[in-house]
Structure 1
Amino acid sequence: MESDREPGVGDEYPGTEPASLVQRGRARTDWIVYGVTAVISVAFVIWGGASTGSLSSAAQATLDWLLKNVGWLFVLAATGFVVFSLWLAVSRYGRIPLGREGDEPEFRTVSWIAMMFSAGMGIGLMFFGAAEPLTHYVLPPPGTAAPRSEPAIETAMATTMFHWTLHPWSIYAVLGLAIGYGHYRRGRDQLISSAFAPLLGKRRSTGPLGRLIDILALFATLFGSAASLGLGALQIQTGMQEAGWIGSLSTTVLVLTIVVLTICFVVSAVSGIARGIQWLSNINMVLAAVLAAFVFVVGPTVFILELLPTSIGVYIQNFGGMASRSGATGGRAMEKFLASWTIFYWAWWISWAPFVGMFLARISRGRTIRQFVAGVIIVPSTVSLVWFAIFGGTAIGQQRAGRNPYGNGSEEQITFNVLSHLPWESVSEVVVMALVAIFFVSGADAASIVMGTLSQRGSTSPARWMVIFWGALTGGVAAVMLVIGGDKALNGIQNITFIGALPFTIVLILLCFSLAKDVRDDPMVRRQSKGAEVLEDAVVAGVQRHRGEFELQIRPSGTQPGAEPGTGFTDDPGRSRPTD
């Protein structure tokens, strides 16, 4: 059987890989991974520009078939990732560090949380913060509660928590742990294919099969970040109309918005993580906190506070039912709901997993698996709970009061409809647009860097031209997504995102098995197991020889009490002597 451990690895510091194994030096392009993905992606953009109708029809037909035949895979896999990541954290493997034993974290905890939160879902919170709870209140999931009723409030908040807390961050945690552990602990390249070395063997993980894995990761990343760009463009365009900056919504304005955002995140990406992403993330965290505090104070404060415990309780109570929703029990109405919400979200999170997971790994060196899971899952989930209680609670409160922020049901308009019933409407609308833009920039520049990393054999500093290429292509794919959606631009984003994420879902499932096998063979775990075995044997021997009256000693082998020390260590774990 093949072994991934090079001779002498970790010998100078038991339990870790030497830092020399971490890839350094000039980035080298993998022309197969880069070339295949680039050609197919450019062809997709050309197809969308030349024949929008045929691409739209093909995407819809493919989506209908996939939802009918493999939609269940997303539902099961997403919950499986939650169970797996939490198991890793609470098990004995939780003490394993992502790096050499004794490594200190590179970033302060506050900056670490801000960066992972901005990259993970910041733009989604802005887009759906008020829209999703309100939509589920007006139109609850099939078979749950009557529309606009008191039970519908509980259902709306529980369903929103289901989509935005444990599940998405567990998906990110699985990939982030696999990359961070393999790169900083085992000294492998920072590639998703390299994380499969324990399962496939080192030779296969660097061969054609490994390249296929990296190609699928590139596709998922490209379409996931393009989906975010599309959502951001939709909301910014709507905000400009609400502020009176433009007269009407049009494809031209959407495309121009995409161009501007693309230029911004490419510039941020080539500036590097420390100067670009960290700076933007910290600014956005402050702006988001100020906006949330403002809405909390001027909105229905007591109602928002009441929603916090209610949301947690109903989420826990209904977790099993929400995780098992399927077309088999809900019919066509449930299939439509899952396609528009749950499965779209799972596909979106999975398509984000390559770049968010790799980015989380990049900023988490020195933290243990338990710290990583707690930081990546618990903290953002708590922030999401508070965010949706504030914005969703305000939206539902206004709807109950007859102000109708739901309007025509357009998700990109609901946030601005809610703000229109609060003081300082014009200022808050500008803040929302700024937050959407910066959230996207901070997430998309991380995506561009990760796509460059995947294209250049795991280099942590990909060439600038590579980052610029993937950034520009992301903008092109986002434009195609919006155009093929027509009047319902969000539908085009959902369709392409789902199709792009499906192959990578299978990759993530297999990655769980590879990571589990990897940590079982960790030097720290082996030492713990060996220590427990030696101690047990010594106690058994002491009981047998001395009837329980004994003490254990550590001394060089080949000596007796009071004798001169010998050389080497004893191989007799049962060596003991009676107590006085």
Structure 2
Amino acid sequence: MSHRPGWVFYCSFVLLVLFVVAGGLMPAELLRYANEALDFTTLHFGWLYLFATSGFLVFCIAVAAGNYGKIRLGADGEAPEFSYLTWLGMIFSAGMGVGLVFWAVAEPMSHFVAPPFDSAEPRGPQAASMAMRYSLFHWGFHQWANFALVGLAIAYVRFRLQRPGLISEAFRSTLGNRVDSGIGHSINILAVVSTVFGVATTLGLGVIQINSGLGAVAGTAFGVTQQLFILAGVAVVFLLCSLAPLESGIRYVSDANMLLAAGLLVFVFFMGPTDFITAAMTNAIGDYFANMVGMSLVMTPYTGDDWVERWTIFYWAWGLSWAPFVGSFIARISRGRTIREFVFGVIGMPVLLSIVWFSTFGGSALYFELFEGAALGDAVLAEMSSALFATLNYLPGTTIIGGLMLVLIVLFVITSANSATFVLGMFTSKGVLNPKRWSRLTWGIVQVSVAGVLLLSGGLEALQTISILAAFPFMVLMIFMAVALLKSLRNEQRQIELHEAMTRERLLRLLAENDHLGDERAGSEPGLKPEEPGKNE
């Protein structure tokens, strides 16, 4: 198979370069047009984001829990490529690691000072409870179901059916050979563009928080200029890492991520308000499960409130824009897993970690605000990215812990961007598992350029806006992807059942033939004559 760049590479590259040039020359106009498109999308299709994401969660659970769950993503009996803990670490790090660090305090405190739908007294106990509930919801099962669906579709096609690891290949069961033509190329181009914007959002969030952390630890200034310099520095590191093979590059950085994240989590849990954290986590889990359906489908047609658009739809869109990247990366590292193991591993374990993470950091911030008079809510209102580091001021060893948190954020950014370069290289190199170095470098530079333009255009607002817009077409594509995957699984299940039926029939035929041969041998042995009727009577 030729690995030379084709239509997908050139078209995606040109589209993104045009975006970078336009954004660099007219950043204010870019933000204005993006906001107008966002208003149109959320007004007319906001409901679709909610229904689609909820449907993806139900679909993944149903597939894993049924007979399809026993199908292995690879040859029957094939062992997984990575150990379970390493596998989970790579999923978590390449998934939403940067977002978890950024929003762990910022989201609960944002809901605390401005409760959803104005349904509670700001900065009161009910607002605190609602803040934790919605934080778990936004980082819970729905978010990871997006990744699980795309990852499952690609892993099944790549390792079970031995087809190239492209998004378009997931549609072969419904589109047939048309995936090799313009339709398939368009699907892959859409996946590339969506991935670049999704990862650029994460790069931007990470850079903004690194800037805040440097301000808290070293007193550096906060602004776009500083953020662009930080982005350039991070880019140099992850571009160098992208030159290493996947097994020796991302794997070890992911392991370091998990160890450092676990250490910081344990430190804050035990050095912070431990009893409050455990109680708040228990309460939030109960609230989450009790209100999951209502939160999943809530809209505000009677009040015109835009809270759902600013929070829930943004999160779902961000996850959807990440789905081709994270899903493809998870598929790449999941060879040998069963569908059941894959789905519950991708949806279950990261959500459990997210719950503990948000309860520890967000719960600590709420405790300090409610019972120790900390002005963390004001810090969030002033600069959302500073919330985490403001919380660390109320723990011992602030400077050391703040420095380690900075390292963690940088590692998460490097892992996410590095993983994305591999996936984008795969998408634009006909699905090869180890794309060429020049391809990985090219897409790394493109990601950094897009992130830089978004920071210039409006910082956090621009990042959120572009995420929602980029996600919409791919969300529609994912609906048809689920249909195509189900058709493929049904075809395999029918083949398995047919094979089992033929095997049973063949076995019964052999048994019958053996019985017949046995009877013939018994009748032909000398000295054995059939008894005459009535002789022994």
Q: Which category of TM-score, normalised to the shorter sequence, fits these structures?
A: over 0.9
Q: Give 2:528's aligned residue.
A: none
In the TM superposition, 1:195-210 aligns within 5 A as 195-201=170-176, 203-210=177-184
In the TM superposition, 1:416-455 aligns within 5 A as 416-455=389-428
Aligned partners of 1:117, 1:26: CA distance in 2, in Å?
A: 33
Out of 261, 264, 269, which is 1:288 matched to? 261
Q: Give 1:149's aligned residue.
A: 124
Deviation at 1:130, TM superposition (A): 1.2
Aligned partners of 1:389, 1:158: CA distance in 2, in Å?
A: 10
Residues 1:528 and 2:482 aligned together: no
2:277/2:364 contact within 8 Å kept: yes
Residues 1:132 and 2:107 aligned together: yes
Residues 1:483 and 2:456 aligned together: yes
2:112/2:377 contact within 8 Å kept: no
Aligned partners of 2:309, 2:398: CA distance in 1, in Å?
A: 34
Aligned partners of 2:503, 2:244: CA distance in 1, in Å?
A: 53
Deviation at 1:151, TM superposition (A): 2.2
Taking only aligned residues, the RMSD between alpha carbons, in angstroms, comes to 1.9
Residues 1:78 and 2:49 aligned together: no
1:52/1:484 contact within 8 Å kept: yes
Q: Give 1:3's aligned residue.
A: none
Residues 1:407 and 2:407 aligned together: no
Q: Give 2:475's aligned residue.
A: 505
Q: Give 2:145's aligned residue.
A: 170
Aligned partners of 1:106, 1:534: CA distance in 2, in Å?
A: 31
1:308/1:386 contact within 8 Å kept: yes
Change (3 A) 1:493 1:565: farther
Change (3 A) 1:565 1:157: farther
Deviation at 1:143, TM superposition (A): 4.8
Q: Give 1:4's aligned residue.
A: none
Change (3 A) 1:457 1:534: closer
Change (3 A) 1:274 1:324: same
Q: Give 1:374's aligned residue.
A: 344
Aligned partners of 2:266, 2:461: CA distance in 1, in Å?
A: 32
Q: Give 1:317's aligned residue.
A: 290
Q: Give 1:332's aligned residue.
A: 304
Q: Give 1:190's aligned residue.
A: 165
Q: Secondary structure at the match of 2:247?
A: helix
Q: Give 1:216's aligned residue.
A: 190
CA deviation profile, 1:152-200 (whole Å, cap 9, x unmatched): 2221111111110101111000000000001100111110001100111
Out of 336, 344, 350, which is 2:314 matched to? 344
Change (3 A) 1:80 1:562: same
Aligned partners of 1:529, 1:260: CA distance in 2, in Å?
A: 58
Aligned partners of 1:400, 1:532: CA distance in 2, in Å?
A: 66
Aligned partners of 1:119, 1:565: CA distance in 2, in Å?
A: 67
The code of the aligned residue for 2:137 comes to F
1:136/1:152 contact within 8 Å kept: yes
TM-score, length of structure 2 as denominator length: 0.93
Aligned partners of 2:237, 2:316: CA distance in 1, in Å?
A: 28
Name whichever of 406-415 and 357-366 sits farther off: 406-415
Out of 169, 186, 199, which is 1:225 matched to? 199
Out of 199, 210, 218, which is 1:244 matched to? 218
1:124/1:228 contact within 8 Å kept: yes
Change (3 A) 1:184 1:299: same
Out of 51, 55, 61, which is 2:26 matched to? 51
Q: Give 1:261's aligned residue.
A: 234
Residues 1:235 and 2:209 aligned together: yes
| Greater RCO (Cα-Cα under 8 Å, separation 6 or more) | 2
1:93/1:525 contact within 8 Å kept: no
1:179/1:192 contact within 8 Å kept: yes
Aligned partners of 1:298, 1:367: CA distance in 2, in Å?
A: 38
Aligned partners of 1:284, 1:130: CA distance in 2, in Å?
A: 19
The code of the aligned residue for 2:300 comes to G
The code of the aligned residue for 2:163 comes to R
Q: Give 1:548's aligned residue.
A: none
The code of the aligned residue for 1:494 comes to Q
**Count of aligned pairs between the two proteins:** 517
Deviation at 1:37, TM superposition (A): 1.1
* More helix, by proportion: 2
Change (3 A) 1:411 1:554: same
Aligned partners of 1:565, 1:306: CA distance in 2, in Å?
A: 75
Aligned partners of 1:384, 1:53: CA distance in 2, in Å?
A: 35
Out of 366, 374, 384, which is 1:396 matched to? 366
CA deviation profile, 1:33-62 (whole Å, cap 9, x unmatched): 111111111111111111112112111111
Q: Give 1:571's aligned residue.
A: none
Aligned partners of 2:145, 2:494: CA distance in 1, in Å?
A: 23
2:73/2:159 contact within 8 Å kept: yes
1:33/1:212 contact within 8 Å kept: yes
Out of 330, 345, 352, which is 1:360 matched to? 330
Aligned partners of 1:531, 1:26: CA distance in 2, in Å?
A: 39
Aligned partners of 1:483, 1:313: CA distance in 2, in Å?
A: 41
The code of the aligned residue for 2:469 comes to I
The runs of 5 or more residues in structure 2 that have no matched partner are 521-537
Residues 1:556 and 2:530 aligned together: no
Aligned partners of 1:72, 1:58: CA distance in 2, in Å?
A: 22
| Percent identical residues | 37
The code of the aligned residue for 2:86 comes to S
Aligned partners of 2:386, 2:317: CA distance in 1, in Å?
A: 23
CA deviation profile, 1:359-388 (whole Å, cap 9, x unmatched): 111110001000001110110000001001
Q: Give 1:68's aligned residue.
A: 43
Name whichever of 116-125 and 59-68 sits farther off: 59-68
Q: Secondary structure at the match of 1:66?
A: helix
Q: Give 2:275's aligned residue.
A: 302
